[in-house]
Structure 1
Amino acid sequence: MKQNLLKCLPLAAALLVGAAAQAQDTTAVKISNPNSLSTWSIGLNAGVLTPISPLGGKNDFSNWKANLGYGFYIKKQITPYFSLRLDAVGGKLSGDNSEPFDGGSTISSPVNAFETQLTYSGSLNAVVNLFNIDMFKKENAVQLYASAGAGLAGYKVETGSTSGALTDYAGGKSISELIIPVGLGVKFKLSDKINFDLGGTVNFVDGDNLDGVYRNGNDKYTYGYAGLEFALGKGEKQLAWHNPVALTYDEAVAAKRAAEALQSDLDAQKVDNAKLRTELNDLLKDTDGDGVADKLDKCPGTPAGTVVDGAGCPLKVPAPIIKESVIITESDRKVVADAIKNLEFDLGKATIRAKSNASLNRVAALLVEKNFSLKLAGHTDDTGSDELNMRLSKDRAESVKAYLVFQGANPSRIEATGYGETQPIATNKTAVGRQKNRRVEFTLY
């Protein structure tokens, strides 16, 4: 009972294998701006349902009738040549023996008429665009396609001796059978989003009960249709209409032109590089070998081994600088030590008390007389905040510097720095220790 159906399976398998091969081939094709192409679509169609096959074979009834059929599908375009389509078809099939069979034979049977209502019919189909009409156009307007797949059909059958007296074949129950649809069609592009679709499918049923008669093997029915297909999504154009062959040809031509342009640019660059190399050699030419190019050499012909300046002229060696040594005596150190010992400030301020002036005057005179350099380092104890102590130590060192400068010392030879409480020389836990830490150190050099 299933032999005829099994004969159809190789055809469906061949279409699926061929579609997969085309899908693999086209995946290597670069499509410009693929994000702008629509890949989803839906279709609505209507046509004629008949209980026969144009592929031939025997019919259970001598007079088949054409009835209205209608369909709907959702399609996903995988490549320009291959897509998957989910189809749904509905309608009515009918026939009788009101006419003799071919050859004039008749059949004596209590069942001479039937009517079958397709309550549902759904299938998943592989659809292959066989070729584009014009192989050298990026987009075409006409396509021929083939399809094959598998699905399930549910139907209710009524039979009788004549068309006017039909009864339920299966007691009112719906019969479900596997179907193998195989089809051909042609598609016309009406716009970037709408196509006109003409086609037909032969549906091989896995059963001999579609017409209520077990007579000549598995039944089949044909659906010829016309309809419209609508592209979905924001894509400006449909992937199905893009021609990879033409796109590949255009890309090859563009690549060749780009290569020719690059070669021309390369040749021109070689000429420019040769010119620049010649100019660079002229610019770097150094006849006398003194390390200064001829174009910049103001003293050409300098003897070999002569040390020259940036202009190529012999370098004049400056006279040696004799640095006067600074000698600090014990007497000098005593003057500084007395100043440190007698230095006092107002409490919490950088104001120097008058009793410190005499010893500071002697330090100023020493700096003027011997041109010594002096480093002043201000320190505090840890009473108060770190920020306040740092500022106070710096201000006191600067106050001593200002006093010495006022007395005639060279300001460029006096350095004043504050260290706050960071360098104590005694403990800050006693009054004596804190007194020692509040100081300004003098260093002659």
Structure 2
Amino acid sequence: MKTHFLKLSALTIGLVVSAAVNAQDKPESPKLFSPASSFNTWSVGISGGMLAPTIFSGQNDFSQWKPELGYGAYIKKQILPAFGIQADFLAGKLKADNSKAWGNGMDPVSPYSSYETKLAYSGSLSTNFTLANIYWMNRQNVVQPYLSAGAGLMSYNIVLKNNAGTETKFNSGENVNEVFIPVGAGLKFSLGNNVNLDLGYTMNFVDGDNMDGFRSGIQNDKFSYSHIGLEFALGSKSKRQLSTYNPVAALEDDYITRNAKLQADLDADRAKHAAHMAQMDADWKRYLNDADKDGVSDYFDKCPNTPAGTQVDGAGCELKVTTNTTVVNPVRVVVTEEDRKVVAEAIRNLEFDFAKSTLRSTSYPSLNRVADLLKSKDFSLKLAGHTDNVGSDAANLKLSKDRAESVKSYLVSQGANSSRIEAVGYGESQPISTNKTAKGRQDNRRVEFTLY
């Protein structure tokens, strides 16, 4: 017993050291609903442990079982996070004798004192069910409890020793081939990226009563394998094992990631809107300053610091008044078709910065011709600003008024008479087209010129 314990301890130390050498940093978890190709689905395992002809308690055909060293290997294909198919290989020895009484106190009655069965090979195909992926310590996968069941074929030979101490080979020394059913349970502990420590127990139910070479009843033989081993995932080190994937944790990670992105986008939109409103206020305020109180904004005033009470033109410069004693018959002002074309062209070419009242330079040439027309024919002009229905009523009303005032200020800066230009804003209240289409909304964003 002591020798077997030392062997098993040495095997355990070797497996743990090997795992430490091969452990890697944990890769990032794949996104929710990732395909199977995002994971490592193939793995191999090696194990060592104790073979015994028992199931926790009770015996087969001999009263005292002896633990022996067994060893195994497997290859597994993970189909789903909780389901895989595994091919196992197992070899080792089984021993028992009749050195103690049965559970009822009676001594064994048998022509044999002991036996030794050597497993030449044992191969089986099993289904493997991962019951859960348990996360501890910062939600890292630690424990994977599992169950397995399958069927296989094994080949073994038996040496019996009778009560006189003579050894006898069962079945004339030929190997016995029998079907068996392995049923197991265990725990896997993640040691690294693609390495797991495997602790398990498997009970193998044999379809016959030949493993100990003696039939003392109608019950078939069975033997157990308690093992410790290592599982190595095959594939890229940057991928994680499908068997360690936790869909619930992935769902939570996806929710947290999406929520953080939405919050960041919302914060960015709020900051952008605040900057836009600040810029609109700054643009509006620069048109309100009038240091010399002559009625012309400092932005357009070409003659600043004019004395108080001085009559000025649209550029803020003093008006030159001449006396003319000649009586001239008044002439009625007539708006010609050519005058209307000048105004229509100015409307077509009128452009502002997006969502602002700032005129673009492309509007200047047409507006210059309107200013010349106002100066040469002494016309009056009404400017009416309109918007679409995007935004609040108050913001649209302010924007339409600001744009009309911006056009007026420019015309005055070119020498037009400020008193003959009226600028009003109607916001979204007078659409000329539908606001349900982009073309309709574009038509509704306008400044109308009425010449009279």
| CA shift in 2, pair 1:205/1:165, >3 Å | same
1:66 has 2:83 as partner: no
Q: 1:88 is matched by which residue type in structure 2?
A: F
Distance 1:184 1:120 in 2: 22
| CA shift in 2, pair 1:164/1:186, >3 Å | farther
Residue range with higher mean Cα deviation, 184-193 or 135-144: 135-144
Number of residue pairs aligned between Structure 1 and Structure 2? 272
| CA shift in 2, pair 1:100/1:129, >3 Å | same
Once the two structures are superposed, the pairs formed by residues 35-434 of structure 1 within 5 Å of their partners are: 35=38, 37-54=39-56, 59-134=60-135, 139-162=140-163, 164-214=165-215, 215-239=217-241, 240-263=243-266, 290-293=344-347, 296-297=366-367, 298-299=369-370
| CA shift in 2, pair 1:164/1:48, >3 Å | farther
User: Is the 8 Å Cα contact of residues 58 and 216 (structure 1) preserved in structure 2?
Assistant: no
Following TM superposition, by how much is the alpha carbon of 1:51 offset from its aligned partner in structure 2, in angstroms? 0.6
| CA shift in 2, pair 1:289/1:121, >3 Å | same
User: Is the 8 Å Cα contact of residues 31 and 244 (structure 1) preserved in structure 2?
Assistant: no
| CA shift in 2, pair 1:269/1:33, >3 Å | farther
User: Is the 8 Å Cα contact of residues 189 and 195 (structure 1) preserved in structure 2?
Assistant: yes
Q: Over aligned residues, Cα RMSD in angstroms?
A: 3.9
Residue range with higher mean Cα deviation, 149-158 or 189-198: 189-198
User: Is the 8 Å Cα contact of residues 60 and 222 (structure 2) preserved in structure 1?
Assistant: no
Distance 2:204 2:91 in 1: 13
Distance 2:192 2:93 in 1: 33
Q: 2:249 is matched by which residue type in structure 1?
A: A
User: Is the 8 Å Cα contact of residues 129 and 146 (structure 2) preserved in structure 1?
Assistant: yes
Distance 2:223 2:202 in 1: 8
Following TM superposition, by how much is the alpha carbon of 1:59 offset from its aligned partner in structure 2, in angstroms? 2.7
Distance 2:346 2:164 in 1: 117
| CA shift in 2, pair 1:201/1:287, >3 Å | farther
Deviations 1:214-238 (A, max 9, x none): 3141211001112222333333354
Distance 1:108 1:58 in 2: 14
* Counterpart secondary structure, 2:135: coil
Q: 1:233 is matched by which residue type in structure 2?
A: G
* Counterpart secondary structure, 2:173: coil
| CA shift in 2, pair 1:270/1:225, >3 Å | same
- Give 5+ residue unaligned stretches, structure 2: 1-29, 284-339, 351-362, 381-452
What's 1:324 paired with?
none
| CA shift in 2, pair 1:137/1:147, >3 Å | farther
| CA shift in 2, pair 1:137/1:146, >3 Å | farther
| CA shift in 2, pair 1:121/1:268, >3 Å | same
% identical aligned pairs: 39
* Counterpart secondary structure, 2:145: strand
| CA shift in 2, pair 1:136/1:148, >3 Å | farther
Deviations 1:190-240 (A, max 9, x none): 333433222111011111222122314121100111222233333335413
User: Is the 8 Å Cα contact of residues 186 and 198 (structure 1) preserved in structure 2?
Assistant: yes
Distance 2:45 2:165 in 1: 36
User: Is the 8 Å Cα contact of residues 155 and 175 (structure 2) preserved in structure 1?
Assistant: yes
Bigger radius of gyration, 1 or 2? 1
Q: 1:53 is matched by which residue type in structure 2?
A: I
Residue range with higher mean Cα deviation, 91-100 or 233-242: 233-242
Distance 2:267 2:246 in 1: 32
Distance 2:230 2:43 in 1: 10
Q: 2:157 is matched by which residue type in structure 1?
A: K
Distance 1:238 1:157 in 2: 44
User: Is the 8 Å Cα contact of residues 200 and 223 (structure 1) preserved in structure 2?
Assistant: yes
Q: 1:299 is matched by which residue type in structure 2?
A: V
Q: 1:195 is matched by which residue type in structure 2?
A: N
* Counterpart secondary structure, 1:251: helix
Residue range with higher mean Cα deviation, 118-127 or 105-114: 105-114
User: Is the 8 Å Cα contact of residues 77 and 85 (structure 2) preserved in structure 1?
Assistant: yes
User: Is the 8 Å Cα contact of residues 135 and 142 (structure 2) preserved in structure 1?
Assistant: no
* Counterpart secondary structure, 1:186: strand
Which contiguous aligned blocks of 4+ residues in structure 1 show a shift greater than 6 angstroms? 266-276, 286-289, 300-303
What's 1:4 paired with?
none
Following TM superposition, by how much is the alpha carbon of 1:136 offset from its aligned partner in structure 2, in angstroms? 8.5
Residue range with higher mean Cα deviation, 79-88 or 63-72: 79-88
Distance 1:259 1:243 in 2: 24
